[in-house]
Amino acid sequence: MKTLIRGGTVVTAVDHYRGDVLIDGERIAQVGTDLSWIQVDKSIDASGKYVIPGGVDVHTHLDMPFGGTTSADDFQSGTIAAAFGGTTTIVDFAVQDRGGTLRQAWETWMGKAEGKAAIDYGFHMVMRESTEALRKEMGELVKEGVTSFKLFMAYPGVLYLDDASIFRILQRSGELGATICMHAENGPVIDVIAEQAFAQGNTAPKYHAITRPARLEAEATNRAIALAEVAGVPVYIVHLSAAEALEEVAAARHRGIPAFAETCPQYLFLSYENYEEPGFDGAKYVMSPPLRAKEKQESLWRGLRLNDLQVVSTDHCPFCMKEQKELGKGDFRKIPNGAPGIETRMSLLHDGGVVAGRISLHRWVELASTAPAKIFGLFPRKGTIAPGSDADLVVFDPKAEAVLSAKTHHMKVDYNPYEGRRVRGVSDTVLSRGEVVVEKGKFVGKPGRGQYLRRATR
């Protein structure tokens, strides 16, 4: 099956030009200024539109038990929503059970995705313990293509690991060429502050943010980088929200330390004020780390421009207001942490980044697709438009507008954090490994067609 995407503006992390993209089977066969002479089975007119590599979202939580419930999107609804938004690859988090092995967790998450995922997927592994046996087993997981591990400095008693445990895993990651993703917040101190706030009768959602000060994200970020530096390995800080934490990453990078970090759209477009919305609505934005002061957002944009932040992922972890977020009515500590965003990332970043003049077109593609593919061992199969790469392509209409809303989104969650926001730039036609999966506003792929991605080490 040969498909030609004709007459669009091909945009990658490094260049853009008016061009045609020829797909043969699942791969890109040729890119050229005029390939219209080639006989094809299907032709897609991209005139007036961009042709970009499919988005790579390296931080999602589908079908994940958390906070006494399970994230609302499974691998079917979540990956279909991703495709609608122009994302064609995700890297989700498998979670090791206490006392369980890493393989058990990987197999559990492979089972969750199988038969359901509509786009390609890989896994990071969350390690909740740091025994010798588990550290040895990390090598087995790397052979299966799980080449990154997430560790938590937050959530004591649930996911938290102490510094010594973290340090040993960092050392092991160095032997394996694996990447450590760090949730950098000082969990034990946050728990003290949260307990004190609750004891004083402060139960509303906004106290989730008030009890997680930016300084404690910065402190943990500093410590994570210091531990990685002493262990002699790179570290990747996930969902960075505080400008103070970004200063730590930037300072380390300035010293030549391989510290990397991602931020997420919620930290670029939402802010502390959202927690002050009436009634229990602030719960929509309960996530960790929390939303920060609006005036700090420009620091994150600067970080994205200067490459102190390399990736924009979503941390998509949706919980419905009804019956899920509601678990924390009367106690902000019981509100399941997380928010939806797998579908809205590419358009938000285009609108608030490229259209608003904060980042270039190339930087947009780099942050949302190329850099995450490179950092997490998927490049050049994913993240670019080149002969031999998977034909994961998005025909993106930069002039089309959409209004983000729970009434129209495809995520299985009863609210949209950006409700009513108008965005310029919409994914029009989406191809995954050469197959059209979204066309004319409809999902036309098949759940279960997504393939597991074995990722490379550093």
Q: Is residue 74 a contact point for Zn ion (CB under 5 A)?
A: no
Among 53, 338, 340, 352, binds ligand URP (CB under 6 A): 338
Shortest Cβ distance from residue 239 to Zn ion (Å)?
6
Shortest Cβ distance from residue 296 to ligand URP (Å)?
18
Q: Give the Cβ contact number of residue 147 at 10 Å.
A: 27
Q: How far apart are CA 180 and CA 183, in angstroms?
A: 10
Among 116, 128, 135, 239, binds ligand URP (CB under 6 A): 239
Shortest Cβ distance from residue 205 to ligand URP (Å)?
13
Q: Is residue 183 a contact point for ligand URP (CB under 6 A)?
A: yes
- Partner from ligand URP, Zn ion, none binding residue 56, C-beta < 5-8 Å depending on class: none
Q: Is residue 183 a contact point for Zn ion (CB under 5 A)?
A: yes
Q: Is residue 315 a contact point for Zn ion (CB under 5 A)?
A: yes
CA 43 from centre of chain? 31
Q: How far apart are CA 152 and CA 154, in angstroms?
A: 5
Nearer to ligand URP, 183 or 421 (CB): 183
How many residues bind ligand URP (CB under 6 A)? The answer is: 9
Among 9, 96, 337, 427, binds ligand URP (CB under 6 A): 337
Q: Is residue 317 a contact point for ligand URP (CB under 6 A)?
A: yes
Shortest Cβ distance from residue 72 to ligand URP (Å)?
13
Range in contact with Zn ion (rule: CB under 5 A) among 25-33, 175-183, 184-192, 275-283: 175-183
Shortest Cβ distance from residue 238 to ligand URP (Å)?
6
Q: Is residue 316 a contact point for ligand URP (CB under 6 A)?
A: no
Shortest Cβ distance from residue 64 to ligand URP (Å)?
8
Nearer to Zn ion, 305 or 333 (CB): 333
Q: How far apart are CA 276 and CA 364, in angstroms?
A: 31
Range in contact with Zn ion (rule: CB under 5 A) among 44-52, 99-107, 307-315, 385-393: 307-315
Q: Is residue 135 a contact point for ligand URP (CB under 6 A)?
A: no
Q: Is residue 91 a contact point for ligand URP (CB under 6 A)?
A: no
Q: How far apart are CA 23 and CA 375, in angstroms?
A: 26
Nearer to ligand URP, 46 or 309 (CB): 309
Nearer to ligand URP, 239 or 350 (CB): 239
Q: Is residue 274 a contact point for ligand URP (CB under 6 A)?
A: no
Nearer to ligand URP, 286 or 361 (CB): 286
Burial of 64 per CB tally in 10 Å (0-12, 13-18, 19+): buried
Q: For ligand URP, what does the binding mask look like between residues 58 and 87, x meaning CB under 6 A? A: ---x--------------------------
Among 190, 287, 309, 367, binds ligand URP (CB under 6 A): 287
Shortest Cβ distance from residue 351 to ligand URP (Å)?
23
Q: Is residue 390 a contact point for ligand URP (CB under 6 A)?
A: no
Secondary structure of the chain as H, E, C letters: CEEEEEEEEEECCCCEEEEEEEEECCEEEEEECCCCCCCCCEEEECCCCEEEECEEEEEECCCCEECCEECCCCHHHHHHHHHHCCEEEEEEEEECCCCCCHHHHHHHHHHHHCCCCCCEEEEEEECCCCCHHHHHHHHHHHHCCCCEEEEECCCCCCCECCHHHHHHHHHHHHHHCCEEEEECCCHHHHHHHHHHHHHCCCCCCHHHHHCCCHHHHHHHHHHHHHHHHHHCCCEEECCCCCHHHHHHHHHHHHCCCCEEEEECHHHHHCCHHHHHCCCCHHHHHCCCCCCCCHHHHHHHHHHHHHCCCCEECCCECCCCCCCCHHHHCCCHHHCCCCECCCCCHHHHHHHHHHHCCCCCHHHHHHHHHHHHHHHCCCCCCCCCCCCCCECCEEEEEEEEEEECCCCCCCCCCCCCCCCCCEEEEEEEEEEECCEEEEECCEECCCCCCCCECCCCCC
Q: Is residue 89 a contact point for ligand URP (CB under 6 A)?
A: no
- Partner from Zn ion, ligand URP, none binding residue 337, C-beta < 5-8 Å depending on class: ligand URP
Q: Is residue 409 a contact point for ligand URP (CB under 6 A)?
A: no
Total length of the chain = 458
Residues of the shown chain interacting with ligand URP in the complex, contacts defined by CB under 6 A: 61, 183, 239, 287-288, 315, 317, 337-338
Site for Zn ion, rule CB under 5 A: 183, 315
